[in-house]
Amino acid sequence: DAKTTQPNSMESNEEEPVHLPCNHSTISGTDYIHWYRQLPSQGPEYVIHGLTSNVNNRMASLAIAEDRKSSTLILHRATLRDAAVYYCILRDADNYGQNFVFGPGTRLSVLP
Amino acid sequence: DTGVSQNPRHKITKRGQNVTFRCDPISEHNRLYWYRQTLGQGPEFLTYFQNEAQLEKSRLLSDRFSAERPKGSFSTLEIQRTEQGDSAMYLCASSSGTTFDYEQYFGPGTRLTVT
């Protein structure tokens, strides 16, 4: 799986939008972009995924650059519960059933 | 609560002892994964089952580690002759895996401390 790079940490104020960036310059055409997050003392949980088009769900939005070399996870109104480590992961659609390769992720702090 | 349970949640053992962890996946999920996570790092893949067949093992999984998934239901991960370097959080995840399983459901993990 191709490698991703994310900032080590970010801070946000409560109720403000948060943009979490991810660079994946070596992404291949069949790589899906996944985001997971891990709250303190819990296992990771799925947030969102996409291939080429921007995606929205109840948790977040995923904005994918036109060249797909970067993406941004958008939390529209951060809450204290959103404080977590956010992982951006690439996964080849042709390798379904394979494991996720997690990096160190971005630690998001939300200030009240 | 994702529906994936792991037991025990915490385990403290002395170096050289054997330990076994259990994972109960979501009942209809045919794929089961084990990961290991050390402090400040993301989870690292250990092994993967589809039903009862162990299809992939990471190079991280030394011969002291063994995993089973009898009858394709729950899974166990055993570590023999534990070492201090085995101290970590051990995470289990499951997925339905009918086609491209974009979502894995993780359990809360078992934290192992080897003294």
Out of A21-35, A79-93, B5-19, the most confident range is B5-19
A38 touches A84 (CB < 8 A): yes
Beta bridge partners of A22: A71
In Å, how far is B34's CA from the nearest CA of chain A?
A: 9
Which of B43, B100, B103 is nearest residue A93 as measured by Cβ atoms? B100
CA atoms within 13 A on the CB side of A74: 11
Mean of the pLDDT values across residues A56-81?
Answer: 95
The confidence score (pLDDT) of residue B26 equals 93
Q: Is A32 in Cβ contact with B102 (below 8 Å)?
A: yes
Nearest CA in chain A to B96: A97
Among A34, A46, A102, select the one facing B42 at the smallest CB separation: A102
Is pLDDT at B99 greater than 70 in this prediction? no
- Residue B54: closest CA among B46, B43, B44: B46
Tell me if residue B72 falls in helix, strand or coil.
helix
